[in-house]
Structure 1
């Protein structure tokens, strides 16, 4: 998980967020279910396109490239149900992109103000999480990290396998860089490796942690 920097709010939200929120809150008070045309307004294409751009098409939690396997879900970091934060129904800073496993299978409607999960927009995830190889651990003493790993299942087997593959694919390039004596070529290799740790790449948190552990950035 890495920190997400929010882009500009889409115009559709600039123009309609207050009205949509008011109508959603009113509908929640009724005895009947919220009508779909009100409940799912946040799924507007302009909103999803903006979220895909700022997350680089990755799940905000596990960093999987979503469109490799699915369409991706618009995620409410704090749930929009009436027992949580319905007033944040279309709040731009409460919306992000998540894979179906993190969003619907694991996190679901988890909400506990006394024991919150890491918020990838408001928090600095590396304050709470650290990585060794393909595994993610909580920073010692950081309960928010421990809880986020457990609830989101950030070490589920398919993630570990894909992270391990990512590291192993990088190893030959790192090995060449370590052994190279020609400064020009060494700088070229360094640039290629560094690109694999940029925020748009899948599992960049894991790759950055690995590179720090081998003193790549020194």
Structure 2
């Protein structure tokens, strides 16, 4: 999971979506709302970061279940709607999960509060293709652990019905692709010649795209390779002078 900016005051897309939701009978009625939510999340699942082809079909997910009486009034609140793959939505089910991270908004005292991006980034992190957790404030709720467990983000529960094997394989493919590209860049810089410049620039542009929010598993790439990409850029700029 990563923090997704969805400011209800300044983001014009969010404002438009809420106006359309207010005018709709059902949260799923407007194709434009669906399109906006897809854009806000860059087409990546709010919980596992997979792309459409990795997570079966996508759905609009209610963080607070619309079937629970206490939360029915939030069925058309943009703060409560997230872009989710079918697998994550199924695993979350119709239960109320108050101990997991929300990608942006959560209810506090009946009002919407913004999740802390620092807390999500500090307590959920990748080592290789696997997600780990740490609880920054003991003995507070370990939201990182609860999020990983609920969505089975490391595919350890063993259930065939809810298997996340495809998710793990997809993360491994992205990890392997970035690793190979960086290995080639490293070799080109190590044996630097002026005629390598075009190839190096193209490879850097490809690998940097993997760190963009619009790329699925960008959090994994940043956690594993962010510092390496930066160091190679610095070394390359020094070499070509």
Where in structure 1 are there 5+ consecutive unaligned residues? 21-37
- 1:34 aligned residue: none
Q: 1:132 to 1:58 in 2, by over 3 A?
A: same
What is the CA distance between 1:173 and its match in structure 2?
Answer: 1.0
Give the 3-state SS of the residue equivalent to 1:189 in structure 2: helix
What is the CA distance between 1:50 and its match in structure 2?
Answer: 0.5
- 1:85 aligned residue: 71
Distance (whole Å) between structure 2 residues aligned to residue 137 and residue 67 of structure 1: 25
Greater relative contact order (CA < 8 Å, ≥ 6 in sequence): 1
Aligned match for 2:100, one of 117, 120, 134: 117
Distance (whole Å) between structure 2 residues aligned to residue 84 and residue 154 of structure 1: 29
2:45/2:85 contact within 8 Å kept: yes
What is the CA distance between 1:141 and its match in structure 2?
Answer: 4.9
2:123/2:144 contact within 8 Å kept: yes
Give the 3-state SS of the residue equivalent to 2:228 in structure 1: coil
Distance (whole Å) between structure 2 residues aligned to residue 177 and residue 12 of structure 1: 43
What is the CA distance between 1:112 and its match in structure 2?
Answer: 4.3
Give the 3-state SS of the residue equivalent to 2:87 in structure 1: helix
Q: 1:16 to 1:172 in 2, by over 3 A?
A: closer
What is the CA distance between 1:11 and its match in structure 2?
Answer: 3.9
Deviations 1:94-150 (A, max 9, x none): 11110111012x11123244xx21111133231320001110111245700000000
Find out whether 1:204 has 2:218 as its counterpart. yes
Distance (whole Å) between structure 2 residues aligned to residue 168 and residue 68 of structure 1: 16
Find out whether 1:189 has 2:191 as its counterpart. no
How many equivalent pairs are there? 195
Where in structure 2 are there 5+ consecutive unaligned residues? 106-114, 156-164, 232-241
Aligned match for 1:97, one of 83, 98, 107: 83
